[in-house]
Chains A and B, each alone.
Chain A
Amino acid sequence: MVIIVPILLFLLQQSFLTAAPLFFPYINLILIYCISLLIIVNADFALYNTLFFGILSDVYSPNLFGLYTISLMFSIFLAHIFLRQLFTNRSIYTFIFLTIIATLSFQLCHQIILLTANIFTMRTTFSVFFSQRYFLSMLYENIANVVVISIIFYVVNYFSFKLKTFFIKI
């Protein structure tokens, strides 16, 4: 399960969602899965999965090798710092906030590395990377990811006690 589920998720992300219509291509299933692991399981397990997904994505990426690995690890690391610093419980707000943080930091890190690499090779300019279209797609991606993580939260909450609040009886 530890291997099959990530591979299935990767295939869904890489091949199914990119070809699907509507908002589906905006969903970053890998990021959502890593954030879910970070909150529900633990940080170490999330980090191992992040490394696995990063390498696999890099193998199938036309861009620089390592781009996805570094961006994903950076975003999960940042999300973990926020989780520990700002949140005391694992509510829907935690899920949503961390998803937004992870999506933004992933995109930003991804674009900055690409931009740096492209400036060195004189292939493109700043305006191409940070265009209106880029910010719009970032917004759509955030919305899509928040919708999916909210569904995941309610599904996990329905089947498990892990995210439910509990009170100590005195």
Chain B
Amino acid sequence: MRYFSNKKIIAVFLVALLIIFLHYLGALNWVERYISLALNPAQKFFFSQGIKLSELYNDRDSQNLEEKNAALEQQLQMLLAENVSLHILQDENESLRNQLQFYEKYNYQKKLANVIGKTTNSDQRQIITIDAGLSKGIKINQPVVVGNGVIIGKIIKTEDMISYACVITDKNCHIAATMAKGIGPSGLTQGDLGLTVNIDFVPQNEPININDIIITSGLEPEIPKGLLLGEVQDIKNEPNNLFKTAVINPVADLNAISIVSIIIN
């Protein structure tokens, strides 16, 4: 303590404690609201610049991959697997069309919002900050979607002007999911390493295959059935285990999301 000027450091610590205390009393809501109002547009701008930089880097990276891809394509042409892939794509397409029809049919009320921040890697969480909060009717557990009904996460905390949503690849983000084709397992998803999504505890006898489409099951009151989650990428099957794990590849590019919708009704 003697290294700082004593009075100043005590004052600063007291101010910090007072601010924290007042926050929990709710006395600073209006200040936080004004801070959000003032900074949200700037945050939106900075976040979009970050996304642009990220896309620029990805484009450059994909140019290198293109050369490798061209060489591989020649080999691919000799394989008849293309035909099989087309069949799979046809099934997917049909399923996606069903999703879209379902989404439009029920005409959910949505609120558009901008992503203005993400948690850092060291937090080990996959949380996005969006510029819509309680004042726009956003509530906890409401689904966050992109495009035509592709769920990317759900709201975990709301404030007046901003909300926080966990992304489906977050370890603590669980969403009730099932298979689009109607039959098969249903369970809770869990993010894995911020990259993929798992559905654990799938009974061994349940029919689940690679490339099956996974959707929300509608078992959560705030999340309607039929929002697209992703497709099965892998099935982890231990011979002596009662259950297997389905690894799902999310449909949306979760690193380049700048505008989202929240289904509020």
Partners in one complex: yes
Q: Chain A residues in contact with chain B, CB under 8 A?
A: 7, 11-12, 14-22, 24-26, 28, 43-44, 47-48, 51, 54-56, 58-60, 62-63, 65-66, 69-70, 73, 77, 80-81, 84, 107, 110, 123-124, 128-129, 131, 133-134, 137-138, 140-141
B36 at the interface (CB under 8 A from A): yes
Q: Which of B115-138 contact A (CB under 8 A)?
A: 116-125, 127, 129
Query: When each residue 101-121 of chain B gets 1 if its CB lies under 8 Å from chain A and 0 otherwise, what string results?
Result: 000000000000000111111
B93 at the interface (CB under 8 A from A): no
Is the pair A66, B23 in contact by a Cβ cutoff of 8 Å?
yes
CA A48 to CA B39, docked complex, whole Å: 20
B58 at the interface (CB under 8 A from A): yes
Contacts of B23 in A (CB 8 A): 58, 65-66
CA A77 to CA B172, docked complex, whole Å: 33
B251 at the interface (CB under 8 A from A): no
How would you classify the secondary structure of chain A's contact residues: helix, strand, loop or mixed? helix
Tell me, rounded to whole Å, the shortest Cβ–Cβ distance linking B29 to chain A.
Answer: 11
Tell me, rounded to whole Å, the shortest Cβ–Cβ distance linking A133 to chain B.
Answer: 6
B57 at the interface (CB under 8 A from A): yes
B64 at the interface (CB under 8 A from A): no
Which of A15, A24, A73, A110 is the most central at the interface, judged by chain B CB atoms within 10 Å of its CB?
A15
Contacts of A133 in B (CB 8 A): 124, 193
Contacts of A62 in B (CB 8 A): 119, 125, 127, 129, 156-157, 164
Q: Which of B7-46 contact A (CB under 8 A)?
A: 8-9, 12-13, 15-16, 19-20, 23-24, 32, 35-36, 39, 42-46
**Which single residue of chain B is at the shortest CB-CB distance from A22?**
B57
Knowing A55-B19, A134-B124 are in contact, say whether A18-B119 is a contact too (CB < 8 A).
yes
Contacts of B248 in A (CB 8 A): none
Contact of B172 among A7, A124, A131, A138 (CB under 8 A): A124
Q: Chain B residues in contact with chain A, CB under 8 A?
A: 3-5, 8-9, 12-13, 15-16, 19-20, 23-24, 32, 35-36, 39, 42-47, 49-51, 53-54, 57-58, 116-125, 127, 129, 156-157, 162, 164, 171-172, 193
Which of A18, A81, A84 is the most central at the interface, judged by chain B CB atoms within 10 Å of its CB?
A18
Contacts of A20 in B (CB 8 A): 50, 53-54
Is the pair A11, B51 in contact by a Cβ cutoff of 8 Å?
no
Contact of B3 among A21, A51, A84, A123 (CB under 8 A): A84
Tell me, rounded to whole Å, the shortest Cβ–Cβ distance linking B27 to chain A.
Answer: 12
Besides A47-B9, A51-B16, A63-B123, 5 new A-B residue pairs in contact (Cβ under 8 A), listed by A number: A19-B54, A21-B53, A26-B122, A66-B16, A84-B3
Contacts of A138 in B (CB 8 A): 122
Knowing A19-B51, A66-B20 are in contact, say whether A47-B12 is a contact too (CB < 8 A).
yes
Which of A65, A129, A138 is the most central at the interface, judged by chain B CB atoms within 10 Å of its CB?
A65
Contacts of B44 in A (CB 8 A): 15
> Which 3 pairs between the two chains have the least Cβ-Cβ distance?
A19-B50, A15-B46, A62-B164
Contacts of B193 in A (CB 8 A): 133
Tell me, rounded to whole Å, the shortest Cβ–Cβ distance linking B217 to chain A.
Answer: 23
11 A-B Cβ contacts within 8 A? A11-B43, A16-B49, A19-B50, A21-B58, A25-B120, A44-B9, A60-B117, A62-B125, A80-B3, A80-B4, A138-B122
Which of B8, B43, B50, B156 is the most central at the interface, judged by chain A CB atoms within 10 Å of its CB?
B50
Contacts of A54 in B (CB 8 A): 16
Contacts of A24 in B (CB 8 A): 50, 53
Is the pair B15, A14 in contact by a Cβ cutoff of 8 Å?
no
CA A69 to CA B57, docked complex, whole Å: 34
Contacts of B117 in A (CB 8 A): 14-15, 18, 60
CA A21 to CA B60, docked complex, whole Å: 12
Is the pair B3, A59 in contact by a Cβ cutoff of 8 Å?
no
Which of B8, B116, B118, B120 is the most central at the interface, judged by chain A CB atoms within 10 Å of its CB?
B120
